[in-house]
Structure 1
Amino acid sequence: MKKILPLVLCAALTFGSCDDDDELFYVPNSIEAAFSAKYPNQTVKEWEKDGRYYKAEFHKNGTEAEAWFNANGQWVKTATDFFGDLPTAVSSYLDAHYPGYRVEEIDWVEMPQLNCFKIELEKGDHEIDLYITADGMVIEIGDDDAPHYQIPAAVLNQFAADFPGIVRMEWEKEGPYYKAEFVKDNKECEAWYTAEGKWVKTETDFKGQLPQAVTDYLQATYPGFRIEDTNFVEVPGDRYYEIELEKGDSEWILTIHEDGSLIEVVPDHD
Protein backbone atom coordinates (compact mmCIF):
# COMPACT_ATOMS: atom_id res chain seq x y z
CA MET A 1 0.00 0.00 0.00
CA LYS A 2 1.25 3.48 -0.83
CA LYS A 3 1.89 5.85 2.03
CA ILE A 4 0.20 9.22 1.53
CA LEU A 5 2.21 12.19 2.73
CA PRO A 6 0.22 15.10 4.15
CA LEU A 7 -0.51 17.72 1.52
CA VAL A 8 0.76 20.47 3.83
CA LEU A 9 4.14 18.73 4.07
CA CYS A 10 4.39 18.44 0.29
CA ALA A 11 3.62 22.11 -0.18
CA ALA A 12 5.93 23.30 2.58
CA LEU A 13 8.97 21.36 1.38
CA THR A 14 8.23 21.77 -2.36
CA PHE A 15 8.84 18.12 -3.10
CA GLY A 16 8.98 17.02 -6.73
CA SER A 17 6.46 14.29 -5.99
CA CYS A 18 4.32 12.92 -3.19
CA ASP A 19 4.63 9.36 -4.47
CA ASP A 20 6.98 6.70 -3.14
CA ASP A 21 7.65 5.68 -6.75
CA ASP A 22 9.55 8.94 -7.34
CA GLU A 23 12.56 10.34 -5.50
CA LEU A 24 11.60 13.02 -2.99
CA PHE A 25 13.75 16.11 -2.82
CA TYR A 26 13.84 19.48 -1.14
CA VAL A 27 14.18 22.73 -3.05
CA PRO A 28 16.38 25.09 -1.01
CA ASN A 29 15.13 28.59 -0.33
CA SER A 30 18.10 29.98 -2.26
CA ILE A 31 16.93 28.18 -5.40
CA GLU A 32 13.38 29.46 -5.05
CA ALA A 33 14.73 32.97 -4.43
CA ALA A 34 16.89 32.72 -7.55
CA PHE A 35 13.84 31.77 -9.61
CA SER A 36 11.80 34.65 -8.19
CA ALA A 37 14.62 37.08 -8.97
CA LYS A 38 14.92 35.77 -12.53
CA TYR A 39 11.18 35.57 -13.16
CA PRO A 40 9.31 37.90 -10.80
CA ASN A 41 5.54 37.43 -10.60
CA GLN A 42 5.83 33.93 -12.12
CA THR A 43 4.54 30.87 -10.28
CA VAL A 44 6.29 27.51 -10.42
CA LYS A 45 3.92 24.72 -11.40
CA GLU A 46 6.33 21.98 -10.36
CA TRP A 47 9.94 21.51 -9.29
CA GLU A 48 11.98 18.54 -10.48
CA LYS A 49 15.50 17.33 -9.72
CA ASP A 50 17.25 16.95 -13.07
CA GLY A 51 20.62 15.38 -12.36
CA ARG A 52 22.53 17.93 -10.29
CA TYR A 53 20.19 20.76 -11.28
CA TYR A 54 16.84 22.00 -10.01
CA LYS A 55 14.29 22.47 -12.77
CA ALA A 56 11.25 24.72 -12.45
CA GLU A 57 8.26 24.24 -14.74
CA PHE A 58 6.21 27.39 -15.29
CA HIS A 59 4.46 29.53 -17.89
CA LYS A 60 6.31 32.38 -19.57
CA ASN A 61 4.13 34.80 -21.52
CA GLY A 62 1.47 32.10 -21.74
CA THR A 63 3.89 29.46 -23.05
CA GLU A 64 5.22 26.44 -21.19
CA ALA A 65 8.80 26.91 -20.02
CA GLU A 66 11.42 25.20 -17.88
CA ALA A 67 14.30 26.86 -16.02
CA TRP A 68 17.36 25.12 -14.59
CA PHE A 69 19.39 26.29 -11.58
CA ASN A 70 22.49 24.77 -10.03
CA ALA A 71 22.92 23.99 -6.34
CA ASN A 72 24.42 27.45 -5.76
CA GLY A 73 21.29 29.15 -7.04
CA GLN A 74 22.85 30.20 -10.34
CA TRP A 75 20.58 30.22 -13.36
CA VAL A 76 21.80 27.74 -16.00
CA LYS A 77 19.27 27.91 -18.81
CA THR A 78 15.60 28.29 -19.73
CA ALA A 79 13.78 26.35 -22.45
CA THR A 80 10.50 27.72 -23.82
CA ASP A 81 8.18 25.97 -26.27
CA PHE A 82 8.55 27.49 -29.74
CA PHE A 83 5.74 27.42 -32.30
CA GLY A 84 6.72 30.11 -34.80
CA ASP A 85 8.61 29.99 -38.09
CA LEU A 86 12.29 29.17 -37.86
CA PRO A 87 14.79 31.72 -39.21
CA THR A 88 15.90 31.17 -42.80
CA ALA A 89 19.46 30.27 -41.73
CA VAL A 90 18.14 27.49 -39.49
CA SER A 91 15.67 26.15 -42.05
CA SER A 92 18.38 26.13 -44.72
CA TYR A 93 20.71 24.19 -42.43
CA LEU A 94 18.03 21.58 -41.73
CA ASP A 95 17.22 21.21 -45.42
CA ALA A 96 20.90 20.76 -46.30
CA HIS A 97 21.96 18.43 -43.48
CA TYR A 98 18.82 16.57 -42.42
CA PRO A 99 16.68 15.92 -45.51
CA GLY A 100 13.74 13.66 -44.79
CA TYR A 101 13.81 14.31 -41.04
CA ARG A 102 10.64 15.40 -39.28
CA VAL A 103 10.71 18.18 -36.69
CA GLU A 104 9.19 16.71 -33.53
CA GLU A 105 9.57 19.63 -31.16
CA ILE A 106 11.28 23.03 -30.93
CA ASP A 107 12.38 24.92 -27.84
CA TRP A 108 13.91 28.37 -27.60
CA VAL A 109 16.82 27.98 -25.16
CA GLU A 110 18.30 30.91 -23.27
CA MET A 111 21.69 30.54 -21.56
CA PRO A 112 24.06 33.04 -19.96
CA GLN A 113 26.50 32.95 -22.89
CA LEU A 114 24.06 32.66 -25.81
CA ASN A 115 20.56 31.78 -26.99
CA CYS A 116 19.66 29.07 -29.47
CA PHE A 117 17.00 26.70 -30.72
CA LYS A 118 16.79 23.10 -29.53
CA ILE A 119 15.24 21.10 -32.36
CA GLU A 120 14.23 17.47 -31.94
CA LEU A 121 14.46 15.66 -35.28
CA GLU A 122 13.27 12.19 -36.19
CA LYS A 123 13.65 9.93 -39.21
CA GLY A 124 12.52 6.35 -38.72
CA ASP A 125 14.22 5.08 -35.57
CA HIS A 126 16.89 7.79 -35.65
CA GLU A 127 16.40 10.76 -33.34
CA ILE A 128 18.61 13.84 -33.10
CA ASP A 129 18.70 16.82 -30.74
CA LEU A 130 20.17 19.82 -32.51
CA TYR A 131 21.12 23.07 -30.77
CA ILE A 132 21.57 25.87 -33.29
CA THR A 133 21.61 29.67 -33.07
CA ALA A 134 19.22 31.87 -35.02
CA ASP A 135 21.99 32.68 -37.52
CA GLY A 136 22.70 29.00 -38.21
CA MET A 137 25.67 28.25 -35.94
CA VAL A 138 25.55 24.70 -34.57
CA ILE A 139 26.20 24.57 -30.82
CA GLU A 140 25.45 21.00 -29.85
CA ILE A 141 24.42 17.77 -31.55
CA GLY A 142 23.26 14.55 -29.92
CA ASP A 143 21.81 11.42 -31.48
CA ASP A 144 21.31 7.72 -30.84
CA ASP A 145 24.76 6.82 -32.15
CA ALA A 146 26.91 9.50 -30.52
CA PRO A 147 26.97 11.25 -27.15
CA HIS A 148 25.86 14.81 -26.67
CA TYR A 149 28.59 17.38 -26.60
CA GLN A 150 28.46 21.08 -26.00
CA ILE A 151 30.85 23.61 -27.46
CA PRO A 152 32.45 25.65 -24.64
CA ALA A 153 31.89 29.39 -24.79
CA ALA A 154 35.67 29.94 -24.88
CA VAL A 155 35.85 27.92 -28.10
CA LEU A 156 32.96 29.77 -29.73
CA ASN A 157 34.39 33.16 -28.76
CA GLN A 158 37.86 32.35 -30.09
CA PHE A 159 36.44 30.97 -33.34
CA ALA A 160 34.42 34.16 -33.82
CA ALA A 161 37.59 36.21 -33.25
CA ASP A 162 39.66 34.06 -35.63
CA PHE A 163 37.05 33.88 -38.38
CA PRO A 164 34.84 36.98 -38.19
CA GLY A 165 31.77 36.84 -40.37
CA ILE A 166 31.60 33.04 -40.46
CA VAL A 167 28.22 32.05 -39.01
CA ARG A 168 27.56 28.76 -40.78
CA MET A 169 29.63 25.87 -39.48
CA GLU A 170 29.27 22.38 -38.08
CA TRP A 171 31.04 21.31 -34.91
CA GLU A 172 32.43 17.89 -34.04
CA LYS A 173 34.16 16.52 -30.96
CA GLU A 174 37.40 14.91 -32.15
CA GLY A 175 39.33 13.40 -29.26
CA PRO A 176 40.19 16.20 -26.82
CA TYR A 177 39.56 18.87 -29.46
CA TYR A 178 36.56 20.70 -30.90
CA LYS A 179 36.59 20.90 -34.69
CA ALA A 180 34.63 23.40 -36.77
CA GLU A 181 33.88 22.65 -40.42
CA PHE A 182 33.03 25.71 -42.49
CA VAL A 183 33.51 27.47 -45.82
CA LYS A 184 35.70 30.54 -46.23
CA ASP A 185 36.34 32.24 -49.58
CA ASN A 186 34.59 29.29 -51.29
CA LYS A 187 37.08 26.85 -49.74
CA GLU A 188 36.24 24.09 -47.29
CA CYS A 189 38.04 24.58 -43.97
CA GLU A 190 38.43 22.82 -40.64
CA ALA A 191 39.70 24.44 -37.45
CA TRP A 192 40.63 22.70 -34.18
CA TYR A 193 40.48 24.16 -30.66
CA THR A 194 41.16 22.95 -27.14
CA ALA A 195 38.38 23.07 -24.56
CA GLU A 196 39.96 26.28 -23.23
CA GLY A 197 39.57 27.96 -26.62
CA LYS A 198 43.22 27.70 -27.71
CA TRP A 199 43.54 27.42 -31.48
CA VAL A 200 45.39 24.25 -32.52
CA LYS A 201 45.37 24.24 -36.32
CA THR A 202 43.40 25.07 -39.46
CA GLU A 203 43.24 22.96 -42.62
CA THR A 204 42.04 24.52 -45.87
CA ASP A 205 41.18 22.52 -48.97
CA PHE A 206 43.75 23.51 -51.60
CA LYS A 207 42.92 23.40 -55.31
CA GLY A 208 45.39 25.90 -56.76
CA GLN A 209 48.87 25.65 -58.20
CA LEU A 210 51.48 24.35 -55.76
CA PRO A 211 54.65 26.40 -55.28
CA GLN A 212 57.35 25.52 -57.80
CA ALA A 213 59.68 24.24 -55.07
CA VAL A 214 57.02 21.77 -53.92
CA THR A 215 56.25 20.68 -57.48
CA ASP A 216 59.96 20.13 -58.20
CA TYR A 217 60.32 17.96 -55.09
CA LEU A 218 57.32 15.80 -56.00
CA GLN A 219 58.47 15.27 -59.57
CA ALA A 220 61.98 14.34 -58.48
CA THR A 221 61.06 12.12 -55.54
CA TYR A 222 57.68 10.65 -56.47
CA PRO A 223 57.59 10.32 -60.27
CA GLY A 224 54.38 8.76 -61.53
CA PHE A 225 52.47 9.42 -58.32
CA ARG A 226 49.08 11.09 -58.52
CA ILE A 227 47.98 13.81 -56.10
CA GLU A 228 44.75 12.65 -54.45
CA ASP A 229 44.16 15.58 -52.15
CA THR A 230 45.95 18.66 -50.85
CA ASN A 231 45.35 20.72 -47.73
CA PHE A 232 47.06 23.90 -46.64
CA VAL A 233 47.72 23.57 -42.91
CA GLU A 234 48.34 26.37 -40.44
CA VAL A 235 49.50 25.69 -36.88
CA PRO A 236 50.95 28.07 -34.29
CA GLY A 237 54.32 29.16 -35.66
CA ASP A 238 54.23 27.17 -38.89
CA ARG A 239 52.35 26.54 -42.15
CA TYR A 240 52.75 23.81 -44.74
CA TYR A 241 51.06 21.61 -47.32
CA GLU A 242 49.67 18.16 -46.56
CA ILE A 243 49.58 16.15 -49.79
CA GLU A 244 48.07 12.71 -50.33
CA LEU A 245 49.92 10.76 -53.05
CA GLU A 246 48.90 7.54 -54.78
CA LYS A 247 50.51 5.16 -57.27
CA GLY A 248 48.86 1.78 -57.61
CA ASP A 249 48.63 0.29 -54.12
CA SER A 250 51.21 2.71 -52.75
CA GLU A 251 49.70 5.63 -50.84
CA TRP A 252 51.56 8.25 -48.84
CA ILE A 253 50.83 11.44 -46.93
CA LEU A 254 53.53 14.04 -47.35
CA THR A 255 53.88 17.28 -45.39
CA ILE A 256 56.13 19.90 -46.92
CA HIS A 257 56.88 23.60 -46.54
CA GLU A 258 56.27 26.14 -49.29
CA ASP A 259 60.02 26.29 -49.97
CA GLY A 260 60.12 22.56 -50.71
CA SER A 261 61.68 21.47 -47.42
CA LEU A 262 60.22 18.15 -46.34
CA ILE A 263 58.65 17.75 -42.90
CA GLU A 264 57.68 14.08 -42.99
CA VAL A 265 56.26 11.28 -45.11
CA VAL A 266 53.98 8.61 -43.64
CA PRO A 267 52.00 5.78 -45.26
CA ASP A 268 48.31 6.43 -45.78
CA HIS A 269 46.42 3.57 -44.15
CA ASP A 270 42.92 4.97 -44.70
Structure 2
Amino acid sequence: MKKLIILLLAVWILNVHANAQDIPQSQVPSVILNAFQVKFPNATDVDWELKGDQYKVDFEIGTRDHDVWIDKSGNIKKHKEDISKKDLPQGIVNKIAKDFSSYKIDGTDKIEADGKVVYLVELDGTADDRKVTFTSTGDVQENIVD
Protein backbone atom coordinates (compact mmCIF):
# COMPACT_ATOMS: atom_id res chain seq x y z
CA MET A 1 0.00 0.00 0.00
CA LYS A 2 2.83 2.39 0.87
CA LYS A 3 4.50 1.75 -2.50
CA LEU A 4 1.22 2.45 -4.29
CA ILE A 5 0.82 5.78 -2.53
CA ILE A 6 4.41 6.77 -3.36
CA LEU A 7 3.92 5.73 -6.98
CA LEU A 8 0.68 7.72 -7.28
CA LEU A 9 2.32 10.76 -5.70
CA ALA A 10 5.25 10.53 -8.13
CA VAL A 11 2.91 10.26 -11.12
CA TRP A 12 0.91 13.26 -9.89
CA ILE A 13 4.07 15.37 -9.44
CA LEU A 14 5.30 14.49 -12.92
CA ASN A 15 1.89 15.30 -14.40
CA VAL A 16 1.76 18.69 -12.70
CA HIS A 17 5.20 19.59 -14.02
CA ALA A 18 4.36 18.32 -17.50
CA ASN A 19 1.24 20.49 -17.70
CA ALA A 20 2.77 23.71 -16.36
CA GLN A 21 6.38 24.74 -16.70
CA ASP A 22 8.01 27.74 -15.10
CA ILE A 23 10.01 29.57 -17.73
CA PRO A 24 12.36 32.55 -17.58
CA GLN A 25 11.14 35.79 -19.14
CA SER A 26 13.94 35.50 -21.72
CA GLN A 27 12.10 32.49 -23.21
CA VAL A 28 8.76 34.30 -23.56
CA PRO A 29 8.11 35.23 -27.22
CA SER A 30 8.29 38.97 -27.87
CA VAL A 31 4.67 39.23 -29.09
CA ILE A 32 3.48 37.87 -25.73
CA LEU A 33 5.92 39.89 -23.66
CA ASN A 34 4.99 43.11 -25.51
CA ALA A 35 1.24 42.49 -25.06
CA PHE A 36 1.81 41.98 -21.34
CA GLN A 37 4.06 45.02 -20.89
CA VAL A 38 1.69 47.33 -22.77
CA LYS A 39 -1.31 46.26 -20.68
CA PHE A 40 0.54 46.06 -17.32
CA PRO A 41 3.53 48.46 -17.40
CA ASN A 42 3.70 48.70 -13.59
CA ALA A 43 3.86 44.96 -12.95
CA THR A 44 6.40 43.71 -10.41
CA ASP A 45 7.43 40.28 -9.11
CA VAL A 46 6.68 38.73 -12.51
CA ASP A 47 6.72 34.92 -12.93
CA TRP A 48 5.99 33.12 -16.21
CA GLU A 49 4.63 29.63 -16.85
CA LEU A 50 3.79 27.78 -20.03
CA LYS A 51 0.48 25.96 -19.55
CA GLY A 52 -0.45 24.00 -22.63
CA ASP A 53 -0.61 26.50 -25.47
CA GLN A 54 -0.98 29.57 -23.24
CA TYR A 55 1.41 31.61 -21.18
CA LYS A 56 0.37 32.35 -17.61
CA VAL A 57 1.99 35.25 -15.85
CA ASP A 58 1.71 35.88 -12.10
CA PHE A 59 2.57 39.39 -10.95
CA GLU A 60 1.76 42.20 -8.58
CA ILE A 61 0.67 45.77 -9.08
CA GLY A 62 0.99 47.57 -5.78
CA THR A 63 -0.30 45.12 -3.19
CA ARG A 64 -2.65 43.23 -5.51
CA ASP A 65 -1.86 39.84 -7.01
CA HIS A 66 -2.75 39.18 -10.64
CA ASP A 67 -2.79 36.16 -12.95
CA VAL A 68 -3.07 36.62 -16.71
CA TRP A 69 -3.31 34.00 -19.44
CA ILE A 70 -2.04 35.04 -22.89
CA ASP A 71 -2.32 32.99 -26.08
CA LYS A 72 0.51 32.54 -28.56
CA SER A 73 -0.79 35.45 -30.66
CA GLY A 74 -0.48 37.85 -27.72
CA ASN A 75 -4.21 38.01 -26.91
CA ILE A 76 -5.10 38.22 -23.24
CA LYS A 77 -7.58 35.42 -22.66
CA LYS A 78 -8.17 35.72 -18.91
CA HIS A 79 -7.23 38.12 -16.12
CA LYS A 80 -7.72 37.29 -12.45
CA GLU A 81 -7.11 40.01 -9.87
CA ASP A 82 -7.24 39.68 -6.09
CA ILE A 83 -9.51 42.40 -4.75
CA SER A 84 -10.57 43.36 -1.26
CA LYS A 85 -14.11 42.61 -0.11
CA LYS A 86 -14.84 46.35 0.04
CA ASP A 87 -14.37 46.39 -3.76
CA LEU A 88 -17.16 43.88 -4.38
CA PRO A 89 -20.17 45.29 -6.24
CA GLN A 90 -23.10 46.08 -3.94
CA GLY A 91 -25.28 43.41 -5.58
CA ILE A 92 -22.84 40.73 -4.45
CA VAL A 93 -22.59 42.18 -0.94
CA ASN A 94 -26.40 42.12 -0.70
CA LYS A 95 -26.62 38.53 -1.98
CA ILE A 96 -24.01 37.31 0.51
CA ALA A 97 -25.81 39.06 3.37
CA LYS A 98 -29.11 37.47 2.31
CA ASP A 99 -28.16 33.94 1.21
CA PHE A 100 -24.77 33.32 2.86
CA SER A 101 -25.13 35.19 6.15
CA SER A 102 -23.59 32.35 8.19
CA TYR A 103 -20.38 32.51 6.14
CA LYS A 104 -17.36 34.76 6.44
CA ILE A 105 -15.65 36.15 3.32
CA ASP A 106 -12.15 34.66 3.10
CA GLY A 107 -10.99 35.83 -0.33
CA THR A 108 -12.24 37.71 -3.36
CA ASP A 109 -11.13 37.74 -7.00
CA LYS A 110 -12.31 39.66 -10.03
CA ILE A 111 -12.05 37.55 -13.20
CA GLU A 112 -12.30 38.88 -16.75
CA ALA A 113 -12.56 36.36 -19.59
CA ASP A 114 -14.25 36.38 -22.99
CA GLY A 115 -15.48 39.94 -22.45
CA LYS A 116 -17.30 39.00 -19.23
CA VAL A 117 -16.52 39.88 -15.62
CA VAL A 118 -17.33 37.60 -12.69
CA TYR A 119 -16.33 37.62 -9.04
CA LEU A 120 -15.09 34.55 -7.20
CA VAL A 121 -15.73 34.74 -3.47
CA GLU A 122 -14.32 32.20 -1.04
CA LEU A 123 -16.64 31.78 1.92
CA ASP A 124 -15.74 30.06 5.20
CA GLY A 125 -18.53 28.48 7.22
CA THR A 126 -18.79 26.29 10.28
CA ALA A 127 -20.23 23.33 8.36
CA ASP A 128 -18.41 23.84 5.05
CA ASP A 129 -16.45 26.27 2.92
CA ARG A 130 -17.65 27.46 -0.47
CA LYS A 131 -16.36 29.02 -3.65
CA VAL A 132 -19.15 31.07 -5.17
CA THR A 133 -18.97 32.78 -8.55
CA PHE A 134 -21.19 35.86 -8.94
CA THR A 135 -22.08 38.21 -11.75
CA SER A 136 -21.57 41.88 -10.94
CA THR A 137 -25.30 42.16 -10.14
CA GLY A 138 -25.11 39.39 -7.53
CA ASP A 139 -26.51 36.46 -9.50
CA VAL A 140 -24.87 33.17 -8.49
CA GLN A 141 -23.28 31.39 -11.44
CA GLU A 142 -21.55 28.62 -9.53
CA ASN A 143 -21.63 27.49 -5.89
CA ILE A 144 -19.09 24.80 -5.03
CA VAL A 145 -18.52 23.22 -1.65
CA ASP A 146 -14.78 23.43 -1.09
TM-score by length of 1: 0.42
User: Greater Rg, structure 1 or structure 2?
Assistant: 1
Picking from 219, 230, 248, the partner of 2:126 is: 248
Kindly indicate whether residue 137 of structure 2 is the aligned counterpart of residue 259 of structure 1.
Answer: yes
**How many residue pairs are counted as aligned between the two chains?**
124
User: SS in structure 2 opposite 1:223?
Assistant: coil
Q: Give the share of equivalent positions with the same residue, in percent.
A: 25
Contiguous gaps of at least 5 residues in structure 1: 1-129, 132-137, 141-149
Counterpart AA for 1:246: D
Say whether the 8 Å CA contact 2:66–2:81 is kept in structure 1: yes
Identify which of 94, 97, 118 aligns with 1:216.
94
Show the 5 A alignment for 1:97-176: 138-139=24-25, 150-166=27-43, 168-176=45-53
1:177 to 38, 54, 62: 54
Partner Cα distance (2:126, 2:50) in 1 = 34
String of CA shifts for 1:127-149, please: whole Å, max 9, x gaps: xxx98xxxxxx416xxxxxxxxx
Unaligned runs of 5+ in 2: 1-21
Alignment of 1:49-88 (within 5 A): none
Alpha-carbon distance, 1:207 to partner = 1.4
The aligned counterpart of 1:27 is none
Corresponding residue of 2:65: 188
* Partner residue in 1 for 2:76: 199
Higher RCO, 1 or 2 (CA under 8 Å, sep at least 6)? 2
Q: TM-score, normalised by structure 2?
A: 0.72
Q: Is the 8 A contact 2:42 2:61 kept in 1?
A: no
Q: Tell me if structure 1 keeps the 8 A contact 2:55–2:69.
A: yes
Rounded Cα–Cα distance in structure 2 between residues aligned with 1:260 and 1:156:
35
Contact 2:109–2:120 under 8 Å retained in 1? yes
RMSD across aligned C-alpha pairs, in angstroms?
2.2
Q: Distance in 1 between matches of 2:82 and 2:29?
A: 26
Structure 1 counterpart SS, 2:122: strand
Helix, strand or coil at the partner of 1:196: coil
Q: What do residues 210-236 of structure 1 show as CA deviations (whole Å, max 9, x unaligned)?
A: 222111111211121121211111223
